[in-house]
Chains A and B, each alone.
Chain A
Amino acid sequence: MTIKTKWTWLAAAALPLLAACGGSGGSDDDPVEMHTLRVTVTNLTANQPMSPVLVSLHRGGEAWQAGTPASVALEQLAEGGDASALAAALAASGGIVDATGSAPVGPGGSDSFELSYPAAADATLTLATMLVNTNDAFAGLGGLPVGALAVGASERFVLAAWDAGTEDNSEAAGTIPGPADGGIGFDAARDDALDAVRVHAGVVSHDDGLAGSTLGSKFRFDNPVLRVTVERVQ
């Protein structure tokens, strides 16, 4: 397990928060109460590497909602594994601090992040990563309230894979960015018959009768696909 320290402060959002945490007197000497969250992810799949994981603490915005069309930022993550637009969107809507992994997380692999931030009762955590040997499957936590977590407390989740609904699950050669294909990631066209985020139905594969699928049966997956532990360490 590696501890990533590659995280960025979101200065514009953090400054007013620092002021709010200044205490009754607003004195310059009042210490700012800092919280630290450790977020650990484990890829539970057989052959679905997960794109560099985005973890974002923010106080507004919602990265996705089941039953509604995905944002373009989420589409970029779900189709191409690029979390930058989603990170920026969350940062712009009440961002506190975020981090993105430096490498994909392989099957059976883990990654870990520590996020330190001035205490915020309304902080929520969003986490997102693409299952890269798919057209547009992703996994994550959307807006977990973490402001009330006590020091030493942790929450564990096992997560199902979502279908972003932004790309038809053709499984065709050239449409899947992961190592199973090496195809195109993000494509602005929305050619899924249902443009709505929902639980992914899984890879069919050519071994199971989907002509034109470039995926063999080893790329099938079942839920849960990702384990996430959120722990307040300070």
Chain B
Amino acid sequence: MRRIRFLGLAAAALLTPLAAQAAEIEVTVTNLTGGIYFTPLLVAAHPAGSHLFQTGAAASTALQAMAEGGDIAGLEADVTAAGGQLVADPAGGILAPATSSGVAMLDTGATNTHLSITAMLLPTNDGFVGLDGWEIPTEPGTYTLTLNGYDAGTEANTELMNPGAGGAPGVAGIPGDPSGRAGSGGSGVVAASPNDAEPNVVHIHRGQLGDTDASGGLSDVDSRSHRWLNPVARVTVVVK
């Protein structure tokens, strides 16, 4: 199974039609938030029956690693095992608020008919932007989707920073804040354990509380910078 990292125009020659039904697609992701960062994106075309996540279902360990720490290696392996194709990190790193990724080019082959996308939202405990199995149209054209913010349901939304360490699955806390506006010393919006303030399945994120106290209060995140309303991303898909 081919793994395609970032492809520019020159790389188009690498793509060869696999079957009559194959479609070449170009995927661009725009971060629509004003203060939330996306960790490296995973863009995958895969068979209809496979999923990176499903609302109402418990997160896989691979999804948990992505949602809590931005690590997409496990999800990449899952896509590959399912016979899918993927582009890892089309943005070339973290995607800042109100910016767009590079173009992820995929050749769907005969069977990779569905598109999924994930990236962690920073700074959150286990929030992520997601697209679960959108059926790729066969009709050439440009399609626009908007994506919501999800909660993996695997970590309590303490809203407390734990730089670095918090990215490991099962370790409480937010691993980083590229905006630099998060504080410290909060007492926690909810207890870290047990994680009983939310269903332990993938669900729409309830958003963050935040506060304006950089050295105390309940939350380490900033209510002026680190809240969002859906949608959090726009996806443009060009079917060739």
A-B contact count (CB 8 A): 65
Q: Is the CB of A202 within 8 A of B227?
A: yes
- Which of B5-13, B37-45, B230-238 is the interface stretch? B230-238
Query: Which listed residue (A198, A204, A211, A222) contacts B34, Cβ 8 A?
Result: A198
User: Interface code A198-232, partner B: CB below 8 Å = 1, 0 otherwise?
Assistant: 11111010001111000000000011000000000
Contact B98 A201 (CB under 8 A): no
A194 contacts the other chain (CB 8 A): yes
Q: Which residues of A contact B228 (CB under 8 A)?
A: 199, 201
Bound complex: CA of A216 vs CA of B104, how far in Å? 44
Q: Which of A193, A199, A210 contacts B223 (CB 8 A)?
A: A210
Residue pair B212, A66 in contact (C-beta under 8 Å): no
* In the bound complex, CA of A169 to CA of B224 (Å): 8
Decide if A200 touches B100 in the complex (CB within 8 Å): no
Q: Which of B229, B230, B234 contacts A66 (CB 8 A)?
A: B234
Q: Are A201 and B32 in contact (CB under 8 A)?
A: no
**Given A67-B30, A201-B33, A211-B212, A161:B98 Cβ within 8 A:** no
Q: Mark A149-175, 1 if CB is under 8 A from B, else 0.
A: 000000000001101010001000000
Given the interface pairs A198-B97, A199-B34, A209-B223, the reply to whether A160 lies near B212 with Cβ below 8 Å is no
Contact A209 B211 (CB under 8 A): yes
* Any A CB within 8 A of the CB of B183: no
Inter-subunit contact B230/A223 (CB<8 Å) = yes
Residues of chain B within 8 A (CB-CB) of A208 are 223
- The CA-CA distance from A161 to B224 in the complex, in Å, is 16
Could you tell me the distance between the alpha carbons of A222 and B205 in the complex, rounded to whole angstroms?
Answer: 14
A14 at the interface (CB under 8 A from B): no
Complex contacts, A63 vs chain B, CB 8 Å: none
Known A160-B230, A222-B229; contact A198-B32, beta-carbon cutoff 8 A: yes
Residue B35 at the A interface, CB < 8 A? yes
Task: Give the bracket for the number of chain B residues in contact with chain A.
Answer: 20 to 34
> Which of B30, B31, B224 has the most chain A CB atoms closer than 10 A to its own CB?
B224
Chain B neighbourhood of A32, CB < 8 A = none
The interface residues of chain B lying within 8 Å CB-to-CB of A57 are: none
CA distance A200 to B228 in the complex (A): 7
Among residues of A, the one whose C-beta sits closest to the C-beta of B34 is A198
The distance in angstroms between the C-alpha atoms of A204 and B211, with both chains bound, is: 10
Report yes or no: B34 in contact with A201, Cβ–Cβ below 8 A: yes
Contacts of B100 in A (CB 8 A): 67
Is A197 part of the binding interface, using a Cβ–Cβ cutoff of 8 Å? yes
**Quick one: which of B60-102 are within 8 Å of A by CB?**
97-100
Extra contacts, 12 of them, besides A198-B32, A199-B232, A223-B229 (Cβ < 8 A), are A67-B98, A169-B224, A196-B98, A198-B97, A199-B32, A199-B33, A199-B231, A201-B34, A201-B227, A208-B223, A210-B224, A211-B212
- Where the two chains meet, the residues of B that have a C-beta atom closer than 8 Å to any C-beta of A are 30-35, 97-100, 146, 211-212, 223-225, 227-232, 234
Q: 11 pairs across A/B with beta carbons < 8 Å?
A: A66-B32, A160-B231, A194-B34, A199-B34, A200-B34, A201-B34, A201-B35, A201-B228, A210-B223, A223-B229, A223-B231
